[in-house]
Structure 1
């Protein structure tokens, strides 16, 4: 009882006070490990597991190891990962089977949890997967392992069970914040999502920034939508957008929105020389073009229609913030520079070029570009010089970025 009095109150008090101010899951886990060690509980390994709402990710997990610190990962359900999950305490806890305790010092036996081999290799003597109750009736996970001979004491096991509601309070808040962040990242973009989460949610709230504007469009979409079955059309759109988004993301760009078969993205220029940002944007466009070309080669073998597209790159000032109605907002960019990029992209089909550049972009990038002439752009006053990157420019841009 003396150990319980010495440990339960301080640890539970910490979980319900100071710990709640730690919003980062990795920082929380590191602090929890410090609390255990400070109270004489010789933990060597802690992990948390929290399913999250995400289109590709099943759950988030953080792991603390004595002498190594904290790492984390997003767990994706794949053909390889499903058997591992099935033969794991995680499955037992998530499915409502309660907490699980394993003895890694026992001889291996057929059908045992797969993690026991890793625990034996790491010298663990006791392992507990605690069922952490959330307010929605589901169970999440905290695992605790030690290398102490004899494992955890009865009093320590009692403490681990008693403290689970305090852990649940913290993990649930972290899970909600993590889910909100992943949903915002998924639906409005990584940088825009961070701004919204930080409180930039009022209509008209925004700022003027300089950015490279990326606008791409799928050619012949109306015809494709009439010819292709629904599932085939969705597969084509996902393949097209997936390759465009991957190229943008790899180049440091931000996908802002999809409008039908078009995509709007930006490469913000924040107190830096615009030339490297332009180079990254142009390299990303070249990577997207190559990815679509490779995909078209695959489709040719099955007789499927080609994906034709156009990409316009322009540089200019845009208003970056909230636009919309009182109850429905869009965090995006607007301004004459966006309109100009859209008009330039519309020339891709007429000029037979997959990538077109504005005169401002060509000048700011400092890269060689082929002038295609001067053009009147619909709805805009005056004419603009339009450029296209030579075939070798993609590689040059990649080197500069």
Structure 2
């Protein structure tokens, strides 16, 4: 096959999602053809299967599976994590309703009434938007979707594209830990701007939920219904009463490996509407966290200002090896945006998505064409660690830096593997 539409985007340093590495295993690279459809290749078998399953009209094509023989006008469809969240929701199908086993996460801002009373309406809206942005990212980056907002509350669903209870519950718990990290970073910003600090409570439950698009025909939204949905909300409401930040149900804990969670306290409590006490566990971490954990928990804080992060990184990179600046003939603006996007997505996905290694190997092969050599990777790591220290610091014991070091080793090893394959082929 000739160069695909995705290849063209990458060659011109256009940010174009392709979570599976451009192998037709996801739909994040899809585009809408506005003009020039006659110049496109016929759909591959894989693309045709996806199009039929998702009910796409003929103007929607997979960029990684489509090449062009002439001028084509198109638009990317997936432009953000939020759009990717909508794609995950597609996996529920088009039926009127379906019952699924899901992990349901409910996060609520504490003392919102006092916050609203002491700030202007415009400031309250700004604070809420920053709150939902910061705390929504961990949901999206851990395989969940944002189900809905209700005032100062955000609800995440995990399991729309998975049937493994352990992976589903692990994603929800990782998201909860990521939210705690995110609120710490957001509070630094809000303290400077408004003199306030936010506190949250998070409840996580695993059970059955009915899903479907509900509402007036002109405005239907994905909705979840069921007793287990109410249970998740009521678990969250107990966090304040029990003095915990994260509470999970026994149903969640049972889906995790025995002893894998650090449990600060276990309590039996009577949830509203329940006749019997239920067991709730206050958790604050993993007992044996992977080497990626601190990197995953801090990636949101690191990339809170992507442009500033990229600027600092390239300044460090060029200070270490000035000759590398010549590789960026068009400047570092577009490349920096791609770097920030890639880093956020890959770091958060290392333990969850089987296609991540394929995508990193593909990225390594493509970087050979940009003039990147194998001995450049060591400098990249050194510059990245310097930037991480500049932006968020090494932490009290250097644990964050060590986690990032091991995370970067895995990422760069896979990219070098792909680069080595490409060099041998040439």
Q: What TM-score comes out, normalization by structure 1 length?
A: 0.53
- Asked whether the equivalents of residues 282 and 394 of structure 1 are also in contact (C-alpha less than 8 Å), the reply is no
Partner of 2:113: 222
Q: Alignment partner for residue 189 of structure 1, among 86, 97, 105?
A: 86
* 2:148 aligned residue: 257
- Give 1:29 deviation, angstroms: 6.1
Pick closer, same or farther for the CA change 1:186–1:276 going to 2, 3 Å. Answer: closer
Aligned to 1:331: 222
Whole-angstrom CA distance in 2 between matches of 1:282 and 1:207: 24
Task: Measure the CA separation in 2 of the matches of 1:219 and 1:212.
Answer: 22
**Cα gap change, 1:290 to 1:393, in 2 (>3 Å):** farther
1:238 Cα deviation (Å)? 1.3
> What does the per-residue CA deviation read over 1:275-301, in whole Å, with 9 as the maximum and x for residues that have no partner?
222222211211111111122133334
1:26 maps to which residue? 63
2:174 maps to 283
Task: For 2:134 and 2:256, locate their aligned partners in 1 and report how far apart those are by CA, in whole Å.
Answer: 24
The alignment status of 1:376 with 2:270, answered yes or no, reads: yes
Partner of residue 281, structure 2: 387
Question: CA shift at 1:272, angstroms?
Answer: 4.0
Aligned 8 A contact 1:279 1:398 in 2: no
Asked if the contact 1:212–1:313 (Cα under 8 Å) also holds between the matched residues in 2, the reply is yes
RMSD across aligned positions (CA): 3.6
Task: Answer whether contact 2:246 2:284 (CA < 8 A) is retained.
Answer: no
Within 1, Cα distance between the matches of 2:194 and 2:245? 22
Give the 3-state SS of the residue equivalent to 2:266 in structure 1: strand
1:123-155 superposed Cα distances (whole Å, 9 cap, x missing partner): xxxxxxxxxxxxxxxxxxxxxxxxxxxxxxxxx
Which structure has the bigger radius of gyration? 1
1:266 aligns with 2:157: yes
Q: Secondary structure at the match of 1:189?
A: helix
Query: 1:251 & 1:314 partners in 2: Cα distance?
Result: 16
- Count the aligned residue pairs: 244
What SS class does the counterpart of residue 198 from structure 2 fall into?
coil
Where in structure 2 are the equivalents of 1:2-151 lying within 5 Å?
14=38, 21=58, 23-24=60-61, 26=63, 30=67, 32-33=68-69, 36=70, 48=73, 50=75, 60=76
Any idea what the Cα deviations from partners look like across 1:331-350, whole Å, max 9, x if unmatched? 12111110000000001111
- State the match for 1:42 in structure 2: none
Task: Show the counterpart of 1:349.
Answer: 240
Q: 1:365 maps to what in 2? A: 256
Q: Check 1:359–1:185 CA distance in 2 against 1; reply closer, same or farther (3 A cut).
A: same
CA contact (8 A) 1:359 1:386 kept: yes
Aligned residues of 1:210 and 1:270 also touching (Cα < 8 A): no
Match of residue 213, structure 1, among 104, 110, 113: 104
Q: Residue 273 of structure 2: SS of its match in structure 1?
A: coil
**What corresponds to 1:248 in structure 2?**
139
> Take 1:398 and 1:27, find their aligned partners in 2: how far apart are those partners?
29
Write the distance in 2 (CA, Å) between the matches of 1:343 and 1:390: 19
Higher strand fraction (1 or 2): 1
Return the alpha-carbon distance in structure 2 between the equivalents of residues 334 and 397 of structure 1: 37
CA–CA distance in 2 between the matches of 1:188 and 1:13? 28
Comparing 288-297 and 182-191, the one that deviates more = 182-191
Shift of residue 237 of structure 1?
A: 0.8
Aligned residue for 2:202, secondary structure, equals strand
Residue by residue over 1:1-25, the C-alpha shift from the partner in whole angstroms, topping out at 9 and shown as x without a partner, is: xxxxxxxxxxx99469x89945316
Q: Is this contact kept in 2: 1:370–1:389, CA < 8 A?
A: yes
Distance 1:325 1:187, change over 3 A: farther
2: distance between equivalents of 1:13 and 1:182? 22
TM-score, length-normalised on structure 2? 0.50
CA distance in 1, matches of 2:129, 2:283: 27
How far residue 188 of structure 1 moved from its aligned partner, in angstroms, is 8.2
Report the CA distance between 1:262 and its aligned residue: 0.8
1-structure distance, mates of 2:165, 2:291: 13
Deviations along 1:70-115, one digit per CA (max 9) or x if unpaired, are: xxxxxxxxxxxxxxxxxxxxxxxxxxxxxxxxxxxxxxxxxxxxxx
Give the 3-state SS of the residue equivalent to 1:380 in structure 2: coil
